[in-house]
Structure 1
């Protein structure tokens, strides 16, 4: 039985970094091809009505190549993806507990008085996740390069990483506002859904004492809520980032075109495959991080 209190055990910073980084490494190793497929579906603005068109969207210039080459084509930008994903997971999964502790130390009574002890605790976790999600824009250049590699490799024109950084500069932060707008509710829903599941469904008093299966169950709730809430802004963000460096479009321009040419349902393009693909990826890494952080804390 967990101790009867409403305060989670604090893990060390080293444990949070190691646990989150390990989760990121495992995630990129298993799910990068799936992520490429999801990004290419979201970036596609044409109607897909047959298998041949679907094949062209997924494999692009390699659509008619042998199966082996088509599968290899799903691994573009792996270097960018690995660096980005590991840093992102360390920042997000390792950083949210620090933000949560800050809120708990300074605003716990306000949350509890307003929402009650159990709901207040879950909402603090969600709010901490939202704050961390907004700050995630600092990693945006790596995300931009990863997505361009996955969806628009022609935009690189033979340039390496350092040359692109030199040439593009702050242009790599294009779409940062839309990214922050997408991350805030998405991260709120991720950590909030996870916390509410642990609080109300699993009845945990100390979230850090959750078993692997409990972390897995609660991560399903958090990941599903996050993907649904952030879907419209995620589509806009992806389309901003996959444009050629020379021909950028603003989020407002993209939004207007989507409404005019594709309709309201275009804001949820790729949601079903994303729930089926990105959903398991997010559940996997989130549950793994939540299990590995306490593990490393005990180990060291």
Structure 2
């Protein structure tokens, strides 16, 4: 997972990559997507949610497990709330000039509802998010080293000759990440369903996943795949590149797998921050493509043109701050954990 020197003979085993990336994805899910919260938000009424919270709070006064549940609940509620707000801000095509308009953008048809209903309305789609996120982490964190090894074997010298030894090594790992990011569109249907639940729940009309696939066609769940690939390419390039450059030039590491937990953490912050900022404009376009009704699609180029004409350049960075606050910690955590666990598993298997 951690970038390694081009041409290095020792490589992490694929089993270590699978276990390391999978563990990172599962750990992220366990911390940021507790099952109790998913059930409470998606399957329970507001009354049931309040009862579950009350029971959890009561239990927390007696046991450490209950205390953990309350803390996990608070973390998940906060992150889920910010995620939905970010998606709805990115989907908004009008200028917001006052708090009343902001209220309608964020809470949609619940803008005039009581506070409790407003709050609950900000947590749709978490079930799809859970499945998507674990598979995404396994694919991205476990797949990038495979692409990296291929590039190192066949084009390692080319990167070194073109950019120099240190920069060429970092660019090679960035390129491997970019290629894997493009292929990530295979998981797009889960992401599409999650975003629609967050920003356009009317598109579901009470239907389940299989009913939607039957009614709308599987191809509709890949709507916006081109823009998603265009978003993922620079985003993943910056993610793995930011980490590689930090380890190469900030910490002076020759073998990135020798990075300490702290060095991996700093490198993950650099990569995650760069990735979110670089991919922000195309992420807004992708979100607007995916949040529309199945029977009312709109092309990415038309969305881009309308945004530039009606909303200005700032529209391409709508929702960036909430995204940094919500997605940033999750991405840093899972990326840091994967970069640490994959070499650790590899060392354990070699003993």
Given the two structures, how large is their TM-score scaled by the length of structure 2?
Answer: 0.78
Aligned to 2:36: none
Aligned to 1:240: 289
CA distance in 1, matches of 2:242, 2:313: 26
Aligned to 1:21: 22
CA distance in 2, matches of 1:101, 1:111: 13
Q: Is 1:261–2:261 an aligned residue pair?
A: no
* 1:192 CA displacement: 0.8
Gaps of 5+ in 2: 33-78
Aligned Cα RMSD in Å? 2.2
**Residues 55-204 of structure 1 aligned to structure 2 (within 5 Å):** 55-65=103-113, 69-167=117-215, 168-204=217-253
CA distance in 2, matches of 1:235, 1:8: 41
* 1:154 CA displacement: 0.8
Task: Specify the structure having the higher radius of gyration (Cα).
Answer: 2
Moved more, 122-131 or 265-274: 265-274
Q: CA separation of 1:204/1:269 partners in 2, compared to 1, >3 Å: closer, same or farther?
A: same
- The count of aligned residue pairs is 297
* 1:65 CA displacement: 4.9
CA contact (8 A) 1:192 1:222 kept: yes
Q: Is 1:215–2:257 an aligned residue pair?
A: no
Q: Is 1:292–2:341 an aligned residue pair?
A: yes
Q: CA separation of 1:214/1:64 partners in 2, compared to 1, >3 Å: closer, same or farther?
A: farther
CA distance in 2, matches of 1:205, 1:118: 9
Gaps of 5+ in 1: none
CA distance in 1, matches of 2:153, 2:185: 26
CA contact (8 A) 1:8 1:206 kept: no
Q: CA separation of 1:25/1:74 partners in 2, compared to 1, >3 Å: closer, same or farther?
A: farther
